[in-house]
């Protein structure tokens, strides 16, 4: 029985190794990063972004998506997470556990800046990022921290070097800590860990004809980290 368990563990490890090399999962790289289509058209080819494409169309943001140097794409799951969070919020506010809130209930006009929070003019790839990170202004006008962070989750005999994840982070004030008047590389280092609202990319470095596309993890929540006030 012990030998059988070790065999299964070894087989799973080998599967993870080859999946990372072939499919550009977290921390991986695409075999051919270039796709011969715009960012918007690429999103339309992948069912993981069906809801995002509908949202882009309803917001009339197709041109802005294509003009972004870097777009951190949210998935159907990320938008679904927001809709559920919004429904829970409204149920509590109205003291009605049967209240229903759906994707069609969203006010797409007021959510435009929430989607622009994932768009950047500059092109950010694994080649020009590091663990310290780059402070970049998103198209909603707010600063975000973009980092390439190593992880020890897969190190050992299978991965002799640490895989690196691209992370997108919002820096916030909270009830215990404020933000400095000027955010730069030095002041960011002085922030408390609770001020880093970080999400990891599950796929990185897709190079379309109009920019760079990264895909956020499916457990992210649209409107940027559980902000459900819109």
pLDDT in tens, 55-112: 999 999 999 999 999 999 999 999 999 999 999 999 999 999 999 999 999 999 999 9
Q: What is the CATH number of the domain that holds 165?
A: 2.30.180.10
Q: How many domains does the chain have?
A: 1
Q: Report how far Cα 176 is from the mean position of its chain's Cα atoms.
A: 26
Q: Does residue 91 sit within a domain?
A: no
CA distance 112 to 122: 20
Q: Does residue 64 sit within a domain?
A: yes
Q: Does residue 90 sit within a domain?
A: no
Q: What is the DSSP letter of 142?
A: -
| Positions of the chain with pLDDT lower than 50, given as ranges | 1-30, 225-228
Q: Does residue 193 sit within a domain?
A: yes
Q: Does residue 221 sit within a domain?
A: no
Q: Does residue 108 sit within a domain?
A: no
Domain boundaries, position 168: 2-75+116-216
Q: Does residue 88 sit within a domain?
A: no
Q: Does residue 102 sit within a domain?
A: no
CA distance 137 to 212: 16
pTM greater than 0.85:
no
């Amino acid at each position: 029985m012990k030998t059988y368990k070790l065999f299964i563990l070894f087989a799973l490890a080998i599967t993870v190794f080859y999946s990372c090399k072939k499919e550009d999962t977290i921390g991986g790289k695409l075999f051919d990063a270039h796709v011969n289509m715009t960012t918007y058209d690429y999103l339309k080819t992948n069912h993981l972004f069906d809801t995002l494409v509908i949202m882009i169309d309803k917001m009339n943001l197709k041109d802005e998506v294509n003009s972004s140097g870097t777009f951190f794409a949210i998935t159907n799951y990320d938008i679904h997470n927001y809709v559920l969070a919004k429904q829970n919020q409204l149920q509590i506010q109205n003291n009605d556990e049967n209240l229903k809130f759906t994707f069609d209930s969203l006010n797409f006009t007021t959510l435009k800046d929430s989607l622009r929070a994932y768009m950047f003019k500059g092109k950010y790839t694994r080649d020009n990022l590091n663990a310290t990170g780059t402070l970049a202004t998103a198209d909603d006008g707010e600063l975000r921290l973009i980092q390439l962070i190593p992880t020890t989750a897969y190190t050992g005999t299978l991965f002799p070097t640490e895989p690196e994840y691209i992370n997108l982070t919002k820096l916030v004030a909270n009830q215990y800590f404020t933000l400095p008047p000027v955010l730069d590389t030095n002041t960011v280092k002085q922030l408390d860990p609770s001020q880093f609202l970080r999400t990891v990319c599950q796929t990185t470095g897709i190079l379309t004809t109009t920019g760079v596309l990264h895909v956020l993890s499916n457990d992210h929540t649209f409107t940027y980290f559980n902000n459900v006030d819109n």
